[in-house]
Structure 1
Protein backbone atom coordinates (compact mmCIF):
# COMPACT_ATOMS: atom_id res chain seq x y z
CA UNK A 1 0.00 0.00 0.00
CA UNK A 2 2.87 2.25 0.92
CA UNK A 3 4.51 1.56 -2.45
CA UNK A 4 1.29 2.47 -4.27
CA UNK A 5 1.10 5.84 -2.44
CA UNK A 6 4.74 6.63 -3.25
CA UNK A 7 4.11 5.77 -6.93
CA UNK A 8 1.04 8.00 -7.03
CA UNK A 9 2.96 10.89 -5.45
CA UNK A 10 5.77 10.46 -7.99
CA UNK A 11 3.31 10.48 -10.88
CA UNK A 12 1.65 13.62 -9.49
CA UNK A 13 5.02 15.34 -9.12
CA UNK A 14 5.99 14.49 -12.68
CA UNK A 15 2.65 15.77 -13.93
CA UNK A 16 3.15 19.07 -12.10
CA UNK A 17 6.66 19.43 -13.52
CA UNK A 18 5.38 18.74 -17.03
CA UNK A 19 2.64 21.32 -16.58
CA UNK A 20 5.16 23.91 -15.43
CA UNK A 21 7.43 23.11 -18.38
CA UNK A 22 4.51 23.43 -20.78
CA UNK A 23 3.55 26.78 -19.28
CA UNK A 24 7.18 27.96 -19.47
CA UNK A 25 7.45 26.85 -23.10
CA UNK A 26 4.19 28.61 -23.91
CA UNK A 27 5.45 31.74 -22.19
CA UNK A 28 8.75 31.54 -24.06
CA UNK A 29 6.92 31.10 -27.34
CA UNK A 30 4.71 34.06 -26.50
CA UNK A 31 7.76 36.15 -25.60
CA UNK A 32 9.51 35.13 -28.81
CA UNK A 33 6.48 36.19 -30.79
CA UNK A 34 6.37 39.52 -28.97
CA UNK A 35 10.07 40.10 -29.59
CA UNK A 36 9.62 39.39 -33.30
CA UNK A 37 6.66 41.81 -33.43
CA UNK A 38 8.68 44.54 -31.71
CA UNK A 39 11.63 43.98 -34.08
CA UNK A 40 9.31 44.22 -37.08
CA UNK A 41 7.75 47.42 -35.72
CA UNK A 42 11.21 48.97 -35.23
CA UNK A 43 12.15 48.01 -38.80
CA UNK A 44 8.94 49.56 -40.13
CA UNK A 45 9.55 52.76 -38.18
CA UNK A 46 13.11 53.03 -39.54
CA UNK A 47 11.88 52.50 -43.10
CA UNK A 48 9.13 55.09 -42.63
CA UNK A 49 11.68 57.54 -41.21
CA UNK A 50 13.96 56.99 -44.21
CA UNK A 51 11.03 57.52 -46.57
CA UNK A 52 10.04 60.76 -44.85
CA UNK A 53 13.51 62.21 -44.25
CA UNK A 54 15.25 60.86 -47.34
CA UNK A 55 18.97 60.21 -47.64
CA UNK A 56 21.50 62.68 -46.21
CA UNK A 57 25.28 62.53 -46.51
CA UNK A 58 27.95 64.97 -45.28
CA UNK A 59 31.57 64.94 -46.47
CA UNK A 60 34.56 67.07 -45.49
CA UNK A 61 36.73 69.06 -47.87
CA UNK A 62 40.50 68.78 -47.49
CA UNK A 63 43.00 71.26 -48.90
CA UNK A 64 45.14 70.42 -51.94
CA UNK A 65 47.94 72.09 -53.91
CA UNK A 66 49.16 73.96 -50.79
CA UNK A 67 45.89 75.85 -50.38
CA UNK A 68 44.33 76.80 -47.03
CA UNK A 69 40.76 75.95 -47.92
CA UNK A 70 38.47 73.69 -45.91
CA UNK A 71 34.77 73.03 -45.83
CA UNK A 72 31.76 70.79 -45.42
CA UNK A 73 29.41 69.55 -48.12
CA UNK A 74 26.00 68.06 -47.40
CA UNK A 75 24.00 66.09 -49.96
CA UNK A 76 20.36 65.33 -49.23
CA UNK A 77 17.85 63.48 -51.38
CA UNK A 78 14.11 64.09 -51.24
CA UNK A 79 12.24 61.80 -53.61
CA UNK A 80 13.87 62.31 -57.04
CA UNK A 81 15.89 65.44 -56.28
CA UNK A 82 19.32 65.78 -54.67
CA UNK A 83 20.32 69.05 -53.02
CA UNK A 84 23.95 69.98 -52.37
CA UNK A 85 24.92 72.63 -49.84
CA UNK A 86 28.60 73.45 -49.42
CA UNK A 87 30.19 75.84 -46.95
CA UNK A 88 33.84 76.77 -47.60
CA UNK A 89 36.48 78.94 -45.95
CA UNK A 90 40.13 79.75 -46.52
CA UNK A 91 39.69 80.59 -50.20
CA UNK A 92 41.20 83.40 -52.22
CA UNK A 93 38.65 86.09 -52.96
CA UNK A 94 36.99 85.70 -56.35
CA UNK A 95 35.48 83.07 -58.62
CA UNK A 96 36.22 79.34 -58.32
CA UNK A 97 34.99 76.30 -60.25
CA UNK A 98 33.39 73.33 -58.50
CA UNK A 99 32.87 69.94 -60.14
CA UNK A 100 32.18 66.31 -59.34
CA UNK A 101 35.08 64.08 -60.38
CA UNK A 102 35.27 60.39 -61.20
CA UNK A 103 36.84 58.90 -58.07
CA UNK A 104 36.37 59.31 -54.32
CA UNK A 105 40.16 59.38 -53.97
CA UNK A 106 41.72 62.49 -52.44
CA UNK A 107 45.04 60.93 -51.47
CA UNK A 108 47.31 62.86 -53.82
CA UNK A 109 48.63 66.28 -52.85
CA UNK A 110 47.37 67.88 -56.06
CA UNK A 111 43.95 66.19 -56.03
CA UNK A 112 44.56 64.46 -59.35
CA UNK A 113 43.88 61.05 -57.79
CA UNK A 114 40.20 62.03 -58.08
CA UNK A 115 40.43 61.57 -61.85
CA UNK A 116 38.69 63.67 -64.45
CA UNK A 117 35.22 65.15 -64.45
CA UNK A 118 32.42 62.71 -63.74
CA UNK A 119 30.89 62.22 -67.18
CA UNK A 120 28.90 58.95 -67.29
CA UNK A 121 26.91 60.00 -70.35
CA UNK A 122 30.02 60.90 -72.42
CA UNK A 123 29.02 64.49 -73.13
CA UNK A 124 31.29 67.46 -73.92
CA UNK A 125 32.20 69.77 -71.05
CA UNK A 126 29.93 72.79 -70.72
CA UNK A 127 27.69 74.89 -68.54
CA UNK A 128 25.04 72.92 -66.63
CA UNK A 129 21.91 72.62 -68.76
CA UNK A 130 23.56 73.70 -72.02
CA UNK A 131 21.96 72.31 -75.18
CA UNK A 132 25.42 71.51 -76.53
CA UNK A 133 25.96 69.12 -73.63
CA UNK A 134 27.54 69.07 -70.17
CA UNK A 135 29.02 66.62 -67.70
CA UNK A 136 26.96 65.31 -64.78
CA UNK A 137 29.77 66.79 -62.68
CA UNK A 138 29.70 70.29 -64.23
CA UNK A 139 28.27 72.20 -61.28
CA UNK A 140 29.72 75.57 -62.28
CA UNK A 141 31.34 78.58 -60.56
CA UNK A 142 30.89 80.29 -57.20
CA UNK A 143 32.34 83.40 -55.59
CA UNK A 144 34.36 83.62 -52.39
CA UNK A 145 34.09 86.88 -50.44
CA UNK A 146 36.91 89.09 -49.16
CA UNK A 147 37.24 86.87 -46.08
CA UNK A 148 37.63 83.73 -48.18
CA UNK A 149 34.20 82.34 -47.33
CA UNK A 150 31.62 80.93 -49.70
CA UNK A 151 28.35 79.02 -49.68
CA UNK A 152 27.26 76.95 -52.68
CA UNK A 153 23.75 75.56 -53.15
CA UNK A 154 22.80 73.33 -56.06
CA UNK A 155 19.94 70.91 -56.72
CA UNK A 156 19.13 68.49 -59.51
CA UNK A 157 17.11 65.41 -60.38
CA UNK A 158 20.05 64.13 -62.46
CA UNK A 159 21.84 62.81 -59.34
CA UNK A 160 20.92 60.23 -56.73
CA UNK A 161 22.51 59.00 -53.51
CA UNK A 162 23.25 55.29 -53.71
CA UNK A 163 20.70 54.30 -56.36
CA UNK A 164 21.27 51.59 -59.01
CA UNK A 165 21.61 54.04 -61.91
CA UNK A 166 25.33 54.55 -62.62
CA UNK A 167 24.56 57.66 -64.66
CA UNK A 168 23.05 59.32 -61.56
CA UNK A 169 24.66 57.76 -58.49
CA UNK A 170 27.15 60.19 -56.89
CA UNK A 171 28.51 57.68 -54.37
CA UNK A 172 32.13 56.92 -55.22
CA UNK A 173 32.69 60.36 -56.82
CA UNK A 174 34.42 63.42 -55.37
CA UNK A 175 33.88 67.15 -55.10
CA UNK A 176 36.77 69.22 -56.45
CA UNK A 177 37.20 72.97 -56.02
CA UNK A 178 39.56 74.73 -58.44
CA UNK A 179 41.77 77.78 -58.00
CA UNK A 180 40.22 79.57 -60.97
CA UNK A 181 36.88 79.74 -62.71
CA UNK A 182 35.40 77.45 -65.35
CA UNK A 183 35.17 79.04 -68.80
CA UNK A 184 32.58 76.40 -69.84
CA UNK A 185 34.29 76.10 -73.24
CA UNK A 186 37.76 74.56 -72.92
CA UNK A 187 37.74 70.79 -73.23
CA UNK A 188 37.64 68.58 -71.36
CA UNK A 189 37.50 70.49 -68.06
CA UNK A 190 36.98 74.26 -68.46
CA UNK A 191 40.57 75.39 -67.80
CA UNK A 192 39.85 76.19 -64.15
CA UNK A 193 43.37 75.81 -62.84
CA UNK A 194 44.80 73.67 -60.06
CA UNK A 195 42.69 71.60 -57.70
CA UNK A 196 42.74 73.29 -54.28
CA UNK A 197 40.19 71.16 -52.43
CA UNK A 198 38.89 67.58 -52.56
CA UNK A 199 36.15 65.65 -50.80
CA UNK A 200 35.37 61.99 -51.49
CA UNK A 201 31.66 61.16 -51.58
CA UNK A 202 31.39 57.95 -49.58
CA UNK A 203 28.98 56.50 -47.05
Structure 2
Protein backbone atom coordinates (compact mmCIF):
# COMPACT_ATOMS: atom_id res chain seq x y z
CA UNK A 1 0.00 0.00 0.00
CA UNK A 2 2.85 2.37 0.88
CA UNK A 3 4.56 1.80 -2.46
CA UNK A 4 1.28 2.35 -4.36
CA UNK A 5 0.76 5.65 -2.54
CA UNK A 6 4.37 6.68 -3.26
CA UNK A 7 3.90 5.90 -6.98
CA UNK A 8 0.60 7.79 -7.12
CA UNK A 9 2.03 10.90 -5.44
CA UNK A 10 5.10 10.76 -7.71
CA UNK A 11 2.90 10.52 -10.80
CA UNK A 12 0.80 13.51 -9.74
CA UNK A 13 3.91 15.59 -9.02
CA UNK A 14 5.46 14.64 -12.36
CA UNK A 15 2.30 15.61 -14.26
CA UNK A 16 2.08 18.88 -12.34
CA UNK A 17 5.65 19.89 -13.12
CA UNK A 18 5.09 18.97 -16.79
CA UNK A 19 2.13 21.34 -16.91
CA UNK A 20 4.21 24.09 -15.32
CA UNK A 21 6.90 23.65 -17.98
CA UNK A 22 4.31 23.87 -20.77
CA UNK A 23 2.96 27.12 -19.33
CA UNK A 24 6.41 28.64 -18.83
CA UNK A 25 7.35 31.79 -20.77
CA UNK A 26 9.07 29.83 -23.54
CA UNK A 27 6.55 30.46 -26.28
CA UNK A 28 9.19 30.39 -29.05
CA UNK A 29 7.48 33.25 -30.84
CA UNK A 30 9.70 35.61 -32.76
CA UNK A 31 10.09 38.81 -30.79
CA UNK A 32 10.94 41.97 -32.71
CA UNK A 33 14.25 43.38 -31.52
CA UNK A 34 13.77 47.09 -30.76
CA UNK A 35 16.35 48.01 -28.11
CA UNK A 36 20.02 47.43 -27.43
CA UNK A 37 22.69 48.77 -25.09
CA UNK A 38 26.48 48.99 -25.10
CA UNK A 39 28.68 49.74 -22.07
CA UNK A 40 31.89 51.53 -23.06
CA UNK A 41 35.14 50.27 -21.54
CA UNK A 42 38.58 51.85 -21.94
CA UNK A 43 41.42 50.33 -23.90
CA UNK A 44 44.95 50.45 -22.47
CA UNK A 45 46.23 53.96 -21.68
CA UNK A 46 42.73 55.52 -21.84
CA UNK A 47 39.99 56.28 -19.29
CA UNK A 48 37.02 56.21 -21.64
CA UNK A 49 33.69 55.04 -20.20
CA UNK A 50 30.00 55.39 -20.94
CA UNK A 51 26.71 53.86 -21.97
CA UNK A 52 25.15 53.89 -25.43
CA UNK A 53 21.50 53.06 -26.12
CA UNK A 54 20.07 51.96 -29.46
CA UNK A 55 16.42 51.95 -30.42
CA UNK A 56 14.89 50.79 -33.70
CA UNK A 57 11.75 52.51 -34.93
CA UNK A 58 10.30 53.17 -38.37
CA UNK A 59 13.30 51.80 -40.27
CA UNK A 60 15.87 53.87 -38.39
CA UNK A 61 18.12 53.15 -35.44
CA UNK A 62 18.54 55.99 -32.96
CA UNK A 63 21.82 55.99 -31.05
CA UNK A 64 21.98 58.00 -27.83
CA UNK A 65 24.27 58.04 -24.87
CA UNK A 66 27.15 59.58 -22.99
CA UNK A 67 30.88 58.90 -23.19
CA UNK A 68 33.36 60.32 -20.65
CA UNK A 69 37.13 60.36 -20.22
CA UNK A 70 37.87 61.81 -23.65
CA UNK A 71 40.08 64.71 -24.66
CA UNK A 72 38.08 67.78 -25.72
CA UNK A 73 37.16 67.78 -29.43
CA UNK A 74 36.05 65.34 -32.11
CA UNK A 75 36.41 61.58 -31.84
CA UNK A 76 35.74 59.00 -34.54
CA UNK A 77 32.70 56.88 -33.69
CA UNK A 78 32.03 53.63 -35.52
CA UNK A 79 30.51 50.20 -35.32
CA UNK A 80 33.22 47.60 -35.89
CA UNK A 81 32.94 44.09 -37.27
CA UNK A 82 33.42 42.04 -34.10
CA UNK A 83 32.37 42.25 -30.46
CA UNK A 84 35.75 40.85 -29.40
CA UNK A 85 37.30 43.07 -26.72
CA UNK A 86 40.13 40.72 -25.83
CA UNK A 87 43.04 42.80 -27.22
CA UNK A 88 44.31 45.56 -24.91
CA UNK A 89 44.41 48.02 -27.82
CA UNK A 90 40.97 47.10 -29.18
CA UNK A 91 42.34 45.63 -32.41
CA UNK A 92 40.37 42.41 -31.89
CA UNK A 93 37.17 44.33 -32.79
CA UNK A 94 38.33 44.24 -36.42
CA UNK A 95 37.59 46.90 -39.02
CA UNK A 96 34.49 48.98 -39.57
CA UNK A 97 31.22 47.11 -40.08
CA UNK A 98 30.88 47.18 -43.89
CA UNK A 99 28.53 44.46 -45.16
CA UNK A 100 28.14 46.15 -48.56
CA UNK A 101 31.89 46.47 -49.10
CA UNK A 102 31.82 50.25 -49.60
CA UNK A 103 34.82 52.46 -48.82
CA UNK A 104 35.02 54.53 -45.65
CA UNK A 105 33.21 57.87 -45.62
CA UNK A 106 31.04 60.14 -43.56
CA UNK A 107 27.46 59.10 -42.85
CA UNK A 108 26.29 61.91 -45.15
CA UNK A 109 27.97 60.32 -48.21
CA UNK A 110 25.90 58.12 -50.52
CA UNK A 111 28.30 55.19 -50.12
CA UNK A 112 30.12 54.48 -46.87
CA UNK A 113 30.59 51.67 -44.37
CA UNK A 114 27.33 50.91 -42.58
CA UNK A 115 29.29 51.35 -39.34
CA UNK A 116 30.57 54.84 -40.23
CA UNK A 117 28.81 57.11 -37.74
CA UNK A 118 31.07 60.15 -38.09
CA UNK A 119 32.40 61.88 -34.98
CA UNK A 120 31.19 62.59 -31.49
CA UNK A 121 32.31 65.80 -29.80
CA UNK A 122 33.66 65.92 -26.25
CA UNK A 123 33.30 69.16 -24.31
CA UNK A 124 36.02 70.81 -22.20
CA UNK A 125 35.35 68.21 -19.47
CA UNK A 126 35.87 65.29 -21.85
CA UNK A 127 32.17 64.40 -22.02
CA UNK A 128 30.47 63.60 -25.32
CA UNK A 129 26.71 63.35 -25.61
CA UNK A 130 25.60 61.08 -28.46
CA UNK A 131 22.45 61.68 -30.48
CA UNK A 132 22.59 60.07 -33.92
CA UNK A 133 20.34 58.17 -36.29
CA UNK A 134 21.14 55.62 -38.97
CA UNK A 135 19.16 53.81 -41.61
CA UNK A 136 22.22 51.88 -42.82
CA UNK A 137 21.53 48.81 -40.68
CA UNK A 138 18.87 47.06 -38.64
CA UNK A 139 19.41 46.61 -34.93
CA UNK A 140 19.58 42.84 -35.39
CA UNK A 141 22.53 43.32 -37.80
CA UNK A 142 24.76 44.85 -35.12
CA UNK A 143 24.00 42.76 -32.03
CA UNK A 144 27.30 41.27 -30.90
CA UNK A 145 29.38 43.82 -32.81
CA UNK A 146 31.30 46.65 -31.12
CA UNK A 147 31.15 50.41 -30.92
CA UNK A 148 34.60 51.96 -31.06
CA UNK A 149 35.35 55.48 -29.84
CA UNK A 150 38.64 56.65 -31.31
CA UNK A 151 41.22 58.94 -29.72
CA UNK A 152 41.24 61.30 -32.71
CA UNK A 153 39.00 62.88 -35.31
CA UNK A 154 37.65 60.84 -38.21
CA UNK A 155 38.44 62.93 -41.32
CA UNK A 156 35.58 61.08 -43.09
CA UNK A 157 37.78 60.51 -46.16
CA UNK A 158 41.04 58.63 -45.52
CA UNK A 159 41.00 54.92 -46.33
CA UNK A 160 40.38 52.48 -44.90
CA UNK A 161 39.10 54.03 -41.66
CA UNK A 162 39.29 57.83 -41.51
CA UNK A 163 42.67 58.24 -39.78
CA UNK A 164 40.93 58.54 -36.39
CA UNK A 165 43.83 57.16 -34.38
CA UNK A 166 43.92 54.70 -31.51
CA UNK A 167 40.85 52.99 -30.14
CA UNK A 168 40.12 54.73 -26.84
CA UNK A 169 36.95 52.88 -25.87
CA UNK A 170 35.03 49.77 -26.89
CA UNK A 171 31.53 48.48 -26.21
CA UNK A 172 29.80 45.27 -27.29
CA UNK A 173 26.25 45.86 -28.49
CA UNK A 174 23.79 43.65 -26.61
CA UNK A 175 20.04 43.13 -26.46
CA UNK A 176 18.20 45.34 -23.97
CA UNK A 177 14.69 45.29 -22.47
Same structural fold, with TM-score higher than 0.5 when normalized by the shorter chain: yes
Measure, in 1, the Cα distance between the counterparts of 2:58 and 2:109: 25
Measure, in 1, the Cα distance between the counterparts of 2:155 and 2:139: 28
* Structure 1: segments with no counterpart, 5+ residues: 1-34, 163-168
Q: 2:113 aligns with which of 122, 135, 148?
A: 135
In structure 2, the residue matched to 1:194 is 166
Post-superposition offset of 1:161: 2.0
Do residues 93 (structure 1) and 65 (structure 2) align? no
In structure 1, the residue matched to 2:3 is none
Measure, in 1, the Cα distance between the counterparts of 2:34 and 2:43: 28
Measure, in 2, the Cα distance between the counterparts of 1:91 and 1:74: 19
Any idea what the Cα deviations from partners look like across 1:63-114, whole Å, max 9, x if unmatched? 0131011000111112422111121111111111100100001111100000
Measure, in 2, the Cα distance between the counterparts of 1:79 and 1:141: 24
Q: 2:133 aligns with which of 152, 155, 169?
A: 155
Would you tell me which structure has more strand in proportion to its own residues? 2
In structure 2, the residue matched to 1:77 is 56
Would you tell me which structure has more helix in proportion to its own residues? 1
8 Å Cα contact 1:94/1:143 also seen in 2: yes
- Structure index of larger Rg: 1
TM-score (norm 2): 0.79
8 Å Cα contact 1:65/1:195 also seen in 2: no
* Structure 2: segments with no counterpart, 5+ residues: 1-19
SS in structure 2 at match of 1:202:
strand
Post-superposition offset of 1:43: 8.6
8 Å Cα contact 1:65/1:194 also seen in 2: no
TM-score (norm 1): 0.69
Measure, in 2, the Cα distance between the counterparts of 1:136 and 1:74: 18
Shift >3 Å, 4+ stretches: none
